Chains A and B, each alone.
Chain A
Amino acid sequence: MISLLPDWMYHAIEESFTCQFVSVTARDVPVALPVFVHHFNPETGTLFFSSPSTAKRLGNVRRHPQVAVLFSQAGSPAGEPAHVLLVQGLAAVDDTDLENGWKRYFAGWARRQPSARANLPEMSKMMPGYVRRAIIRVEPARFLGWPDGLLGRSPEIVEVGR
């Protein structure tokens, strides 16, 4: 179990629309792409995502498990918090059940993007591998951020001791 985080950090994780998943490419360049958090375990700090089984992100994670997840305002109409939170951690890919494993966490994705549930059939037609998805679990090592998005101030940092 991780230590209790400041409330604003839970707020940022649970109420942000998308987040930016930062993985390291085969050329050793970190790159951020938007994803939807599926599930956050507040006791362990573990973040859950899924990606199509052919996504480059999965190869990036297998090659370089250190990743980062950035929570900040995306500009959606959903009333997102202004906090900026960076979670750095170790990621692992679970591809043991591409057909159904990710569905255990889909409700969290659909909560953030309600159209996702209705769009799944169409997406699977446009991209046949879209619904064959591997799970990515991120175990946090550090939470670092700026409450209320006040980037002119030094960040608050929580190191995860295990």
Chain B
Amino acid sequence: MITWTDELRELIASSSRAVLSYSGEGGFPVGLPLSFSFDAQLQRFALTLPAGYPTIVDAQRVSMTLLRYDTRLANERYLPFYGQLVEEGGTWFFIPSRVVMPRWQRR
């Protein structure tokens, strides 16, 4: 269960990209860089998967890591969500159920 605080929403808004991770064939995981849009009402992310993306073996155990480059750190900030993928009307949605706030973001 995620508590949708203003801090969390700001972190989502400040992220420039996402990496979707899921189980692929042969036991190998897959990671894909995606742009995303967040629906604050429905609390889910709409995604556009690339052409020819590897088969999704398990849509129930998926994560999405939001990323942004931090010029002060000269490194990437990250925010991992865990959840599931669903497809509706030809669009993929990531529905998060858990978020891990990294230590440097905790107050």
Q: Which of A3-11, A69-77, A92-100 contacts B (4 or more CB under 8 A)?
A: A69-77
Residue of A nearest to B29 (CB): A30
With an 8 A cutoff between CB atoms, is A136 at the interface?
no
A154 touches B51 (CB 8 A): yes
Q: Are A30 and B63 in contact (CB under 8 A)?
A: yes
Q: How far is the CA of A121 from the CA of B26 in the complex (A)?
A: 41
Q: Could you tell me if A31 and B33 are in contact, using CB atoms closer than 8 angstroms?
A: no
A-B pairs, top 6 by smallest CB distance, nearest first, are A30-B29, A151-B50, A75-B69, A70-B31, A154-B52, A30-B21
> Contacts A22-B31, A29-B63 known; A155 to B51 CB distance under 8 Å?
yes
**Residue B19 interfacial (CB < 8 Å):** yes
A-B contact number at CB 8 A:
114
Which residues of chain B have a CB within 8 Å of any CB of chain A? 16-17, 19, 21-24, 26-33, 50-52, 54, 58, 61-63, 65, 67-69, 71, 74-76, 78, 80, 82
Listed in ascending order, the chain A residues whose CB lies under 8 Å from chain B are 17-18, 20, 22-24, 27-34, 64, 66-70, 72-77, 84, 86, 88-89, 113-115, 141-142, 144, 146, 151-155
Q: Is the CB of A155 within 8 A of B23?
A: no
**A144: B residues at CB distance < 8 A:** 54
Which of B16, B23, B28, B75 counts the most A-chain CB atoms under 10 A from its CB?
B28
State whether A86 touches B32 (Cβ < 8 A): yes
Q: How far is the CA of A128 from the CA of B11 in the complex (A)?
A: 28
Q: Can you offer 30 A-B residue contacts whose CB atoms are under 8 A?
A: A17-B69, A22-B31, A24-B23, A29-B62, A29-B63, A30-B21, A30-B22, A30-B30, A30-B62, A32-B21, A33-B78, A34-B67, A34-B75, A66-B28, A67-B28, A68-B28, A68-B31, A70-B32, A72-B17, A76-B69, A84-B33, A86-B31, A89-B28, A115-B74, A141-B26, A151-B51, A152-B50, A153-B51, A155-B50, A155-B52
**B69 pairs with A68, CB closer than 8 A:** no
Docked Cα-Cα span, A24 to B24, in Å, equals 11
